[in-house]
Structure 1
């Protein structure tokens, strides 16, 4: 059996990280961080093919976090998790900073979530 791909989930609301982790845990090995500083430390220790990050976080927001991730690793795919639509200026800024896509909160369809994650993880 193949090892599960690793997914780093970053959200300052622990319950959101937990929901994502539960929805993805069957197919992916998820690590959950509640702030960007903790997530950057995890990235220095482990290679994650995919990161799901909140856009609105205290201290280091999602856009700044994406820029820092891109300095560390160009290959990691990044999905932003947000309540904004894809036309929102912050979402556009995150995409320009290097995010690969968007997951819109609330997460209604677990199958859509898994498809979004799976298509960004190299096989």
Structure 2
């Protein structure tokens, strides 16, 4: 299986630091970026099995970022993250291409379960493809 790498996108520097520390303590490799534009540049060079993106960001928001990632055919698991998840229609998340969503502030246990679930989903997909 691929390395358990995660790309985390959030325009809030403090949030990136917190999530970076949590994910590392959970035993995963994480790269954090501050914008969708930066994420697109990073994704052009590297693959990440799991991508977690904030929804509300200046420039390209998380919804548009997810659409663009799916358009290039990425099989990454993508989670939306927002303190305003209730403002969005859960069915829209699925239509756009998100595999799930998380609420801010992030509960460490929920984040851990979401990450484990994402990598489990990826392993299952790989086994089915064989």
Q: One fold, TM greater than 0.5?
A: yes
> d(CA) in 2 for partners of 1:25 and 1:4?
13
Aligned length: 120
> d(CA) in 1 for partners of 2:59 and 2:116?
30
- The residue aligned with 1:116 is 114
Q: Secondary structure at the match of 1:78?
A: strand
Structure 2: gaps of 5 or more residues:
124-130
> d(CA) in 2 for partners of 1:13 and 1:92?
26
> d(CA) in 2 for partners of 1:79 and 1:41?
19
TM-score of the superposed pair, with normalisation by structure 2: 0.83
Structure 1: gaps of 5 or more residues:
none
Higher mean C-alpha deviation, range 29-38 or range 73-82: 73-82
Question: What value does the CA root-mean-square deviation take over the aligned residues?
Answer: 1.8
Q: Secondary structure at the match of 2:44?
A: helix
Alignment deviations for residues 48-85 of structure 1 (CA, whole Å, 9 cap, x no partner): 00000000000001110000010123311001111124
Contact 2:93–2:100 under 8 Å retained in 1: no
Structure 1 segments, 4+ long, off by >6 Å, are none
TM-score of the superposed pair, with normalisation by structure 1: 0.88
